[in-house]
């Protein structure tokens, strides 16, 4: 039988597979820390030629996996030098498995670090975190906290569960971060309007318009809030940062009402909480009830002609309500 390529093996069941030791510099990575330091995987193929072809592809993918793990460890050691793996300690846990590629570990690591400078590694971490958040928002919006799977989020981002836990700690903490960002999105839009620089009536108009547009552009936000209400708000209750961020919404409305009253265009005595509720409820319901509305009334609220009319209607409704 022809000599097999390095790290390619034939198992006891006759199927071709790979057997490769995890490089020692990665033994403290969350993905490998609590597992065997030898990776053994089967191609499922009995035919030698086909099995070797699949095995070589698997080994190539494994090297890419190792390279990504090295970048993550580099970022961890930069942010917390005390967290850098002690390779001397790692050596004491050697499995004793003979790996002809072990001597290449340091050269591979050095090459990876030359290719990815510290600033780029930082950006890789930021992008990884951003990708995880985007994928998690889709997963949680579709299935809620209980139905969402971290494996599915990892698959969407081509990363790993340990990487997600490294960045966020747990599935629940990731969900909380997603909820906080979902609520924060509309608040950021409001703050970006610089409403204090506008007359009160024009500022109120723009506030209503941006609220309408944000809900229309981010149906995932509406789904997340709907799911959390089914859960009775138990995952976001008591989160100080969330409460403080959303208090800004009431402060914004209150400020507009006070300024409008001073300018003589708004009537006194309007409750900012109820006004915020009036604006939000209309913008929210046209997204949350789109499909049931269409089923019952055979009318798509999102058709361009309807959407334009609704946007104008809510603006006019609010301005009529606040004026003398």
Q: How many Cβ atoms are within 10 Å of 183's Cβ, its own excluded?
A: 21
Give the DSSP per-residue string, 41-64.
EEEEE-SHHHHHHHHHHHHHHHHH
In the chain the first and final C-alpha atoms are separated, in Å, by 94
β-strand partners of 40: 19
Q: Mind listing the pLDDT tens digit of every residue in the chain (324 residues)?
A: 578 899 998 887 788 888 888 888 888 777 677 667 888 888 777 888 888 888 888 788 778 777 777 776 666 565 444 444 443 333 333 333 444 444 444 444 444 444 445 546 567 777 888 889 999 999 999 888 888 999 999 888 878 888 888 888 888 889 988 988 888 777 777 777 788 889 999 999 999 999 999 999 989 889 998 988 888 888 778 777 778 778 888 999 999 999 999 999 999 999 999 999 999 999 999 999 999 999 999 999 888 889 999 999 999 999 999 997
Strand partners of residue 21: 38
What strands lie across the sheet with 8-10, from one edge to the other?
Answer: 8-10, 16-21, 38-45
Q: Which residues pair with 266 in a beta bridge?
A: 323
Q: What CA–CA distance (Å, rounded) separates 136 from 153? A: 6
Contacts of 222 (CB under 8 A, 6+ apart): 215, 284, 287, 288
Nearest-angstrom CA–CA distance, 273 and 297: 31
Residue 14, SS3? coil
Between CA 233 and CA 171 the distance in angstroms is 17
Contact between residue 55 and residue 5 where contact means Cβ atoms under 8 Å apart: yes
Length of the chain: 324
Question: Which backbone phi and psi does 17 adopt, to 5 degrees?
Answer: -150, -175
């Amino acid at each position: 039988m022809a000599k097999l390529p390095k790290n390619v093996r034939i198992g006891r069941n006759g199927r071709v597979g790979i057997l490769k030791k995890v490089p020692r510099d990665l033994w403290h990575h969350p993905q490998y820390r609590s597992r065997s330091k030898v990776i053994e995987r089967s191609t499922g193929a009995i035919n030698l030629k086909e099995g070797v072809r699949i095995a070589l592809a698997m080994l190539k993918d494994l090297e890419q996996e190792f390279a990504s793990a090295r970048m993550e460890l580099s970022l961890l050691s930069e942010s917390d030098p005390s967290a850098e793996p002690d390779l001397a300690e790692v050596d004491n846990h050697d499995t004793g498995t003979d790996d002809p590629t072990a001597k290449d570990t340091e050269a591979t690591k050095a090459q990876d670090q030359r290719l990815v400078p510290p600033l780029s590694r930082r950006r890789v971490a930021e992008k990884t975190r951003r990708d995880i958040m985007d994928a998690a928002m889709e997963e949680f919006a579709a299935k809620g906290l209980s139905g969402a799977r971290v494996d599915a989020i990892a698959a969407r981002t081509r990363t790993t569960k340990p990487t997600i836990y490294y960045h966020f700690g747990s599935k629940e903490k990731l969900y909380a971060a997603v909820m906080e960002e979902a609520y924060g999105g509309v608040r950021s839009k409001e703050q970006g309007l610089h409403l204090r620089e506008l007359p009160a009536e024009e500022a109120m108009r723009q506030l209503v318009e941006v609220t309408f547009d944000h809900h229309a552009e981010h149906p995932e936000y509406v789904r997340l809030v709907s799911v959390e209400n089914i859960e009775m708000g138990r995952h976001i209750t008591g989160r100080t940062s969330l409460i403080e961020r959303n208090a800004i919404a009431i402060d914004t409305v209150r400020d507009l009402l006070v300024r409008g009253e001073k300018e003589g265009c708004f009537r006194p005595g309007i409750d900012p909480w109820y006004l915020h509720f009036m604006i939000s409820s209309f913008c929210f319901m046209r997204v949350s009830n789109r499909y049931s509305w269409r089923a019952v009334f055979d009318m798509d609220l999102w058709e361009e002609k309807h959407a334009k009319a609704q946007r104008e209607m809510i603006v006019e409704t609010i301005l009529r309500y606040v004026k003398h």
